[in-house]
Amino acid sequence: MAVLQIREAIRDAMREEMLRDDRVFLMGEEVGHYEGAYKCSQGLLKEFGEKRVIDTPITETGFAGVGIGAAMCGLRPIIEFMTFNFSAVAFDQIINNAAKIHHMTGGQFHAPMVFRGPNAAAHMLGSTHSQAFDTFYAHIPGLKVVSVATPKDAKGLLKAAIRDPNPVIFFESEVQYGVKGEVPEDEYLIELGVADTKREGADVTLLCWGQSVAIALAAAELAQEKGLDVEVIDLRSLRPLDEQTIFDSVRKTNRAVVVEHGWPYGGVGSHLIARIQEECFDALDAPVLKVCYEDLPMSYAENLEHLTIPQPSQVLEALEEVSYRG
């Protein structure tokens, strides 16, 4: 197996799909000559030319819409947002056009495409550049939503997302592009909607995705030292959601904690907790807890940002609390 960074795994996924299918193209700010603000498209312009690796002006609603309009004609666009924070100005295109076109037209049209880019807080970017959009997009029927934490998952899921006939929101992270991991040499796809148990355990189920996977795994190590055997489930896909894997785990451990890069109010984590209590109430030995951002706009200052983002130590406290320890 090759060891790649996440940014390289993303580049390889796009490259392989562009080689496989002429209809696939990449469009976004700085994706071509600059090779990506985070270098996820390194070498692609040189290999595929300006027809298929397209630099745009700063016009998120414009190029998101162009992508949707092109997808409706049978092309397979990959639209890169330099950060999902900028997708806020393309929100209408995504929720009103991409998500609804198949339903609204009685099935006459569909939008097979990927919107990808970094999501959630990075490091000291301030409030407008540190938001998690998971909940906003996972809320919308018609969209699929993926969030990746490892190079292997990034490549396999992105290739599957590009081939998916529906619009897929694909979340990456600025602080994780350099994360390294083993990636199979042979071609592989990872099905959307299948969670991955990143660590098996018997005592508590810990749900995470995207940036919170690393926090969860760190917290599980801390818990191990205290004699708690934590099962870490990386959801990978928020829509469709692999509920069966979640419920099976909770019925085994009888306890669950969610760790989330996102705000507490009405979030993905809240949805997970609602579904667990609906389906696994009799199996639960403790209320399901959630560790997430504080309910605040993100501050720039390093110490304040650190306090706002969930830390492994806080997750450990939650794990101990649902286990009636500590």
Partner 1 sequence: MDGQTRDLPPLTEGLKAASQDELAHAFKEMLRIRRFEENATRAYTRGKISGFLHLYIGQEAIAIGTNLAMREGDRIVATYRDHGFALAQGCDATACMAELFGRSGGLVGGVGGSMHFFDRDKGMWGGYAIIGNHVPLAAGHAFAAKYLSDGKVTICFLGDGAVGIGPTHEGMTLAGLWGLPVVFVVENNRYSMGTPLGRTLPVEDITLRAQGYGMESDRFEVTDPFQVRDRLKVAVDRAREESKPTLIELLTYRFRGHSMSDPGKYRTKAELDGFRNRDPMEMTRRALMELHGVSEDALEAVDEAIIEEMDVAMASADASPQPVPEHRFKNVYVEE
Neighbours of 254 (CB within 10 A): 18
Helix (H, G, I), strand (E, B) or coil at 233: strand
Question: Least distance in Å: CB of 150 to partner 1?
Answer: 25
Q: Could you say whether residue 156 binds partner 1 (CB under 8 A)? A: no
Q: Quick one: which H or E segment has residue 297?
A: none
Question: Least distance in Å: CB of 191 to partner 1?
Answer: 11
Which CB sits closer to partner 1, 79 or 206? 79
- Residues 44 and 7: their CA atoms lie apart, in Å, by 13
Which CB sits closer to partner 1, 92 or 182? 92
By CB under 8 A, which span of 93-101, 216-224, 227-235, 290-298 interacts with partner 1?
93-101
Which CB sits closer to partner 1, 100 or 251? 100
Catalytic residue, chosen from 8, 29, 35, 60, is 60
Helices (H), 6-81: 6-20, 44-48, 60-72
**How is residue 187 written in tokens?**
């071609």
> Among residue numbers 99 through 138, which ones bind partner 1 (CB under 8 A)?
102-110, 112
Burial label, 321 (beta-carbon count in 10 A; 0-12, 13-18, 19+): middle
Which CB sits closer to partner 1, 106 or 227? 106
**How is residue 38 written in tokens?**
């985070």
Q: Is residue 185 flagged as an active site residue?
A: no
Bridge partners (DSSP) listed for residue 28: 55, 80
Closest to 267 (Cα-Cα) out of 170, 136, 148: 136
- Binding mask 9-38 toward partner 1 (x if CB under 8 A, else -) reads ----------------x-------------
- Binding mask 53-82 toward partner 1 (x if CB under 8 A, else -) reads ---xx-x-xxxxxxxxxxxxxxx-------
Length of the chain: 326
Which CB sits closer to partner 1, 169 or 256? 169
In a 13 Å sphere around the CA of 16, the CA atoms on its Cβ side amount to 20
Question: Least distance in Å: CB of 67 to partner 1?
Answer: 6
Which CB sits closer to partner 1, 9 or 99? 99
Q: Is residue 129 flagged as an active site residue?
A: yes
Question: Least distance in Å: CB of 166 to partner 1?
Answer: 5
Closest to 107 (Cα-Cα) out of 145, 78, 142: 142
Question: Least distance in Å: CB of 55 to partner 1?
Answer: 10
By CB under 8 A, which span of 29-37, 49-57, 211-219, 278-286 interacts with partner 1?
49-57
Question: Least distance in Å: CB of 161 to partner 1?
Answer: 13
Burial label, 109 (beta-carbon count in 10 A; 0-12, 13-18, 19+): middle
By CB under 8 A, which span of 6-14, 87-95, 154-162, 229-237 interacts with partner 1?
87-95
Burial label, 16 (beta-carbon count in 10 A; 0-12, 13-18, 19+): middle
**How is residue 34 written in tokens?**
């600059």
CB 272 within 8 A of CB 247: no
* Catalytic residue IDs: 60, 129
User: Which residues of the shown chain bind partner 1 in the complex (CB under 8 A)?
Assistant: 25, 51, 56-57, 59, 61-75, 89, 92-93, 96-97, 102-110, 112, 141-142, 144, 165-166
